[in-house]
Structure 1
Amino acid sequence: MFKIIFILFVCLCPFGTQAQEKAKTTRLSILTEEWPPISFEENDKAQGFAVEIVEQIQSLTQDKHPIQVVPWARGYRELRNQPNVVLFTVIRTEERDKLFTMVGPLGVSEVALYGLAERNLPVQSIEDAKKLIGIAAVNETLFATALQQKGFQNLVMTKNPEQEVRLLAAGRVDLISGDFHALQTALKKAGLSNLELKRYLLIEKSKFYIAFSKGTNPELIKQWKQALKKLKANGTFKKISKKWLPFSEAVTGVEVVGLHADLVGK
């Protein structure tokens, strides 16, 4: 019996070590988008709530790959088409569960419609909103997709939240779609902090995650999951959340969902 156990130990240990070493040498492309205060670029450096969380994960996993801030459309395209791509943050949907493996959640995002408080538009329902002249949405994001799926035909596509708030201030659209924190930051960046936004409609709430593309080493994803669990357990996650999102509760718990959740371990 002792011999059998010893043989199993000798056979299995090198495999585990090799898998961990391979994970360490995997060349990752780590991408994020302009979605302040969650993630953004300032002074040629990635910054924001999710950026600090990922940097802490990198420190724990000894990962030294740079974080690149890219347009959402480019990042999502690379996530879909190339192995060893990490994109954050990605809002979880049924479709994305079939495409990517995701670790999180990092937070909760609202898909909502906002407008100028001073206008006090007569919008009480989705049908009311559909009758408006225009609603801005950032192209190829879940915000735009959610509205399209609900039959909105009056959407004006933009490149980023800052462009959305400029259109709203200029009176070229009646409402804009997005998340409260991102839109408040966009107002500040656009020099429009004096404008007061009103939330007219809440469309849906969704959790957002760190996404890994198909073909990424499951052992590497497991290491990121364990690192995130440690950050939430030791209070680091909550501290960073309070710094960037002072009016939101830090999301608890860690899970792996999506394509290869069974290989990584939930």
Structure 2
Amino acid sequence: MLHHMVVFFFAVVSILCFTPSAGLADDCGLRIITELSHPSTIQDDGRLSGFGVEVVEALKKEIGCGATIEVMPWARGYRHLLNHSDVMLFSTARTKERENQFYWIGPIACYKWVFYGLKGVRDKVKTLEDAKNVSGIGVYRNDARAQFLKGKGFTNLEVMDSQEANFKKLLRGRVELVATSNIGVPGFLSKDLELRKSAVPILTFHSVKLYLAISKSTDKEKVLRWQKAFKTLMDRGTIRKIQEKWIESCPE
């Protein structure tokens, strides 16, 4: 009897050690990071949703990947992407400044950068150059819009760690504009009646595409695995269905 129990014990240990389970699935060798940013990543009672999350989950399923999506502030996630190998960050704007810093998978969305402000600012800002003369523009740390505007010679940028803080400053008159996006701003407006009543689009100043970004020091074979999976899902129409559920799909 004892002999049979010992054999059974080692059989169980062997199964636990060598058989993949939900908790021990292939993690694809990547740390997957995102920020809370409507409508790409939304958190409700601990559950993640949004177009970026759905794209990543579809890719994970295609690859057979069990890695968990981590949520953290954008600036921290961006530092991980810059300074460590085997990191994926989404959703990330692909810009000229960033082009050679990362590997790219996508696009997963197309969108526009927009200045939002109070109604009285409309007459002051008709062009991008006009925006250089306002008292302050709310941007957030390591965001592509902040990098773009800084590269255009803007010296009136007010850098914060979140867009929520920027919109609060807008309502208090501490900045005149907030650099946001046409797909991201509805999430802020829906949560704040005062903001919804007072803030309006002032100027669309750039068009960009969102991607999954992978750190440059990551092994290329890992990157190719994800790029191949993305192409497969594009050919199947899966990516377009996700886009159309949440946002406008990217033009062909």
Q: TM-score, normalised by structure 1?
A: 0.77
Q: Distance in 1 between matches of 2:168 and 2:32?
A: 30
**1:24-44 Cα distance to aligned partner (Å, 9 max, x none):** 564321001122111233322
Q: Distance in 2 between matches of 1:161 and 1:120?
A: 21
Q: Distance in 1 between matches of 2:82 and 2:42?
A: 22
Q: Distance in 2 between matches of 1:138 and 1:105?
A: 23
Q: Distance in 1 between matches of 2:66 and 2:193?
A: 35
Q: Distance in 2 between matches of 1:110 and 1:236?
A: 23
Q: Distance in 2 between matches of 1:162 and 1:238?
A: 30
Corresponding residue of 2:173: 171
Corresponding residue of 1:216: 218
Secondary structure at the counterpart of residue 150 of structure 2: helix
Alignment of 1:1-266 (within 5 A): 26-117=28-119, 120-192=122-194, 194-195=196-197, 197-245=199-247, 248=248, 250-251=249-250
Question: Which sections of structure 2, spanning at least 5 residues, go unmatched?
Answer: 1-25
Secondary structure at the counterpart of residue 96 of structure 1: coil
Change (3 A) 1:200 1:47: same
Corresponding residue of 1:258: none
Q: Distance in 1 between matches of 2:195 and 2:125?
A: 24
Amino acid at match of 1:156: E
Matched residue count: 227
Question: Which sections of structure 1, spanning at least 5 residues, go unmatched?
Answer: 1-23, 254-266
Change (3 A) 1:131 1:25: closer
Aligned-residue offset at 1:233: 2.2
Secondary structure at the counterpart of residue 181 of structure 1: coil
Change (3 A) 1:134 1:227: same
**1:58-110 Cα distance to aligned partner (Å, 9 max, x none):** 01101000001111111111111111111112211233222211111111232
Q: Would you identify which runs of 4 or more consecutive aligned residues in structure 1 move more than 4 Å?
A: none
Matched-pair contact (CA < 8 Å) for 2:93–2:144: yes
More off after superposition, 111-120 vs 221-230: 111-120
Q: Distance in 1 between matches of 2:79 and 2:135?
A: 31
**1:213-237 Cα distance to aligned partner (Å, 9 max, x none):** 1232322222212222222222222
Change (3 A) 1:95 1:143: closer
Change (3 A) 1:97 1:152: closer
Q: Distance in 1 between matches of 2:69 and 2:87?
A: 11
**1:4-32 Cα distance to aligned partner (Å, 9 max, x none):** xxxxxxxxxxxxxxxxxxxx564321001
- What is the aligned-residue RMSD (CA, Å)? 2.1
Matched-pair contact (CA < 8 Å) for 1:90–1:208: yes
Q: TM-score, normalised by structure 2?
A: 0.81
Amino acid at match of 1:237: I
Matched-pair contact (CA < 8 Å) for 1:161–1:183: no
Matched-pair contact (CA < 8 Å) for 1:162–1:187: no
Matched-pair contact (CA < 8 Å) for 2:115–2:179: yes
Matched-pair contact (CA < 8 Å) for 2:108–2:243: no
Q: Distance in 2 between matches of 1:125 and 1:188?
A: 27
Secondary structure at the counterpart of residue 156 of structure 1: strand
